[in-house]
Each structure stands twice: as structure tokens, then as C-alpha cells.
């Protein structure tokens, strides 16, 4: 069954088609949720909410643009919505950092799990801004609009996120070096 047919059936609330669509996108969207969430459990909750929204709003999808892009946006919005309602957007330092050197030594030693872990450990807004800007290609303008913050705040949050991540990677590498000695 083609994706178009699957979408048509989902629009008619066909449970089987919904199951197929879920299978098709669950891992992609779950990865997305993992990056935007604090934990595995929270990511599963977000994934669940996102799919419910997708199936509820699928009739609004008019085949303009990519379906994957559409469901990714819904998933991201769901993740953001969860923080909007929790009201955690106003806790961070807004000062813009002077540092602009974001270069780090790249090694294969850094596992994917560790990278994901340090993203999840970021304060909520840093994590969201970093994900949106770096991993999902949103502009600061768009981020500012989505998170109801200013563009300056978005830039500052991104710098803070990078700083924390860079430090953690360096610490990780140092530990690796120590272990190998």
C-alpha cells in the first residue's frame, strides 16, 4: 500500500491503516522525541501524544509538502507544548556568551547514547533551542516564535547549550584517555 493510500485510509479512521502508519514512522519520531525530552519515559509519552494528534488532524493534511515533514512538526510541537504547559521557559540565564569557538575534537569513541544522554541532561529550554536550531534546521526567528521568546534569547540559549555540551564531551574524552592509560 502506498503512503497516499495509507493516509486516505487513516483519514477514514481505519485502525489497521493507523497501525501501519505507526509502524512506518515510530522509530523516526521516537528518536525525535528522545532528543526533545528529558528521559526515555517522557519521550514515550510525547510520542503517544504526537501520534494521537497526527491521527486526529490527518484530515487537515492536504498533500502539500512532505508527510514526514508534517508529522515531524507535529511531534516537535507536541514536545514543545508539554513544556509550555509546564511553564519551564523562564528559568535560564539570558546573557550572551563571548565564546565563539565551538570546535571540539571528533572521535568515534563518543557513543550515540552518550550524545543523547547529554542532550537530555540540558536544561529544558537549552535543549529545545539546540535541537530546533542544530538538529532540525529551524531559524532563530522561527524558534523565537515557537517558544514565545525573543530571537536574542534563542541565540543566547543556543550558546549556553553548546557550551555545556562541549564541556561534557571534553570531560568524557578526558575520562576515556585516563582509562586507556
Give the residue among 104, 111, 87, 108 at the shortest CA–CA distance from 164.
Answer: 104
Distances (CA, A) of 107 to 42, 66, 110, 170, 172: 30, 34, 6, 11, 11
Decide: is 17 part of the binding site for other proteins (CB under 8 A). Answer: no
Q: What angle, rounded to 10 degrees, do the helices at 67-86 and 15-36 form?
A: 60
Which residue lies nearer to other proteins by CB, 70 or 92? 70
Q: Are 47 and 33 in contact (CB under 8 A)?
A: yes
Alpha-carbon distance of 63 to 10, in angstroms, equals: 13
User: What is the smallest separation between the CB atom of 31 and other proteins, expressed in angstroms?
Assistant: 5
Of the candidate spans 1-9, 65-73, 85-93, 120-128, the one that interacts with other proteins by CB under 8 A turns out to be 65-73
Site residues, other proteins (CB under 8 A): 13, 15, 18-19, 22, 26-28, 30-31, 34-35, 43-44, 47-48, 51-53, 55-57, 60, 62, 64-65, 69-70, 73-74, 77-78, 80-81, 102-108, 110, 112, 115-116, 119, 134-135, 141-142, 144-146, 148, 150, 162, 165-166, 169
Amino acid at each position: 500500500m502506498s503512503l497516499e493510500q495509507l493516509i486516505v485510509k487513516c483519514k477514514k479512521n481505519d485502525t489497521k491503516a493507523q497501525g501501519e502508519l505507526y509502524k512506518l514512522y515510530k522509530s523516526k519520531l521516537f528518536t525525535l522525541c528522545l532528543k526533545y525530552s528529558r528521559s526515555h519515559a517522557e519521550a514515550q509519552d510525547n510520542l503517544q501524544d504526537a501520534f494521537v494528534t497526527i491521527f486526529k488532524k490527518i484530515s487537515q493534511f492536504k498533500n502539500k509538502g512532505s508527510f514526514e515533514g508534517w508529522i515531524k512538526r507535529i511531534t516537535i510541537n507536541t514536545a514543545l507544548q508539554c513544556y509550555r504547559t509546564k511553564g519551564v521557559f523562564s528559568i535560564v540565564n539570558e546573557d550572551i556568551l563571548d565564546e565563539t569557538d565551538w570546535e571540539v575534537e571528533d572521535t568515534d569513541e563518543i557513543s550515540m547514547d552518550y550524545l543523547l544522554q547529554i542532550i537530555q541532561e540540558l536544561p529544558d529550554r537549552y535543549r529545545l533551542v539546540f535541537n530546533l536550531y542544530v538538529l532540525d534546521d529551524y531559524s532563530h526567528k522561527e524558534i523565537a516564535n515557537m517558544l514565545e521568546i525573543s530571537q536574542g534569547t534563542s541565540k543566547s540559549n543556543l550558546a549556553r547549550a553548546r557550551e555545556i555540551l562541549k564541556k561534557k564531551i571534553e570531560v568524557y574524552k578526558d575520562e576515556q584517555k585516563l582509562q586507556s592509560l
